[in-house]
Structure 1
């Protein structure tokens, strides 16, 4: 069953405010690739901070009660709403990132996804190299994405809080390359973090569920 990406963030919403949903795995489930120590800061400090900031920014505004997707779409590209956009998009991006990881991830993608990957990139290995390169070469903070653009798969990268949602492109997977995602475990070795996540943790089943 496909994930409803128009309302992917439903679990993060409670009335007119947003909440931090539980992680889809135990805080030590991604070890040794991503430590419980990293998750304690990344999830409980950074992600929670975006949620709290967003709630303060939208209180008493027309955005209160809207979904994250609606807020992101309405505020993208508007300098006077940059604070709301950045926090809403970072809440959404992190929700998507947690689901892009799995303790049982990595390996070969399921047949339906593998066929689409081979059609777009030639082979799974070629895809992994291109996906890793996008994440590794993203200058500064940002994200690498496997996306579905129309009927074809593609790879993109975005800076800071931006995401494919702002261009009406369907995300399937993401890797967070903000330094707080990996620095406690990998220091400045971003390539090691990216390649190990792809090899060991990437959640192919989530990508399949997101296919249109």
Structure 2
């Protein structure tokens, strides 16, 4: 799980770049509820709970953001509070090298730090004005790597459908800055494997079950209607430039 310096600098440059691009706003959902200051903030949704309907329903978004995401954030902060020096690092840095963490918090950080980072990205790469398809450099890279955007969507959905149990489907940049599709279990992030997440779809049941029940495939198909390609493109361009 340890990554070398060159790969870490690539990841660090990409993840810190996302903050500069506004992917990780400073204002927190927790702060809006009057909670005490914590190193890692649960960001508010950048749209209303019902803004992604009919593709993702308001009740799902409310529970997903206010309950699941809030719990990941709370548990991540609790683990980090045992070792205050870790608060000087970004969440992405922390989860990128789990082997260096104290053993007593490693599993908690893997699950909850991963959940925090994954979801903080997830809210931002969706939009009520999303859909359509990527443009520019990312579109060309997808066509070159996968043959076409439609072939990419098929392969991405196939990965999401076949992810057993809870997990994520990802489009990542590997150590050679090549695009790949991969799945991870639970809240594991590609950062933990030395890869950078360009975009990801949450295939935990809590992300879709209230609306789609056991039909994950329908959720995967519908999700493309809310993908915020402007933000995904920014993530890709920043990572490629780092």
TM-score (norm 1): 0.90
Specify the SS of the correspondent of 1:18: coil
Instruction: Look up the match of 1:179.
Output: 205
Which runs of structure 2 are paired with 1:34-45 in the superposition (5 Å)?
34-45=56-67
Instruction: Look up the match of 2:124.
Output: 99
RMSD between aligned alpha carbons? 2.2
Instruction: Look up the match of 2:98.
Output: 75
Distance of 1:127 and 1:185 partners within structure 2:
25
Which runs of structure 2 are paired with 1:45-194 in the superposition (5 Å)?
45-61=67-83, 62-75=85-98, 80=104, 81-149=106-174, 150-194=176-220
Cα contact 2:96–2:193 (8 A) shared by 1: no
Q: Which moved more, 1:7-16 or 1:68-77?
A: 7-16
| Structure 2: stretches of 5+ with no match in the other structure | 1-12, 29-36
Distance of 2:56 and 2:75 partners within structure 1:
26
Cα contact 2:14–2:196 (8 A) shared by 1: no
Please give the per-residue CA displacement for 1:55-85, whole angstroms capped at 9, x wherever unaligned. Answer: 2222131323432112212325976410122
Please give the per-residue CA displacement for 1:135-175, whole angstroms capped at 9, x wherever unaligned. Answer: 11100100001112223211011001111101221211100
Instruction: Look up the match of 1:29.
Output: 51
Larger relative strand fraction: 1
Instruction: Look up the match of 2:25.
Output: 11
Cα contact 1:13–1:67 (8 A) shared by 2: no
Distance of 1:31 and 1:203 partners within structure 2:
15
Cα contact 1:134–1:157 (8 A) shared by 2: yes
Cα contact 1:12–1:18 (8 A) shared by 2: no
TM-score (norm 2): 0.79
Distance of 2:234 and 2:151 partners within structure 1:
22
Residues 1:106 and 1:13: Cα distance change in structure 2 (over 3 Å): closer
- 1:87 is displaced (CA, Å) by 0.7
Q: Which moved more, 1:72-81 or 1:128-137?
A: 72-81
Distance of 2:226 and 2:214 partners within structure 1:
20
Q: Which moved more, 1:59-68 or 1:154-163?
A: 59-68
| Structure 1: stretches of 5+ with no match in the other structure | none
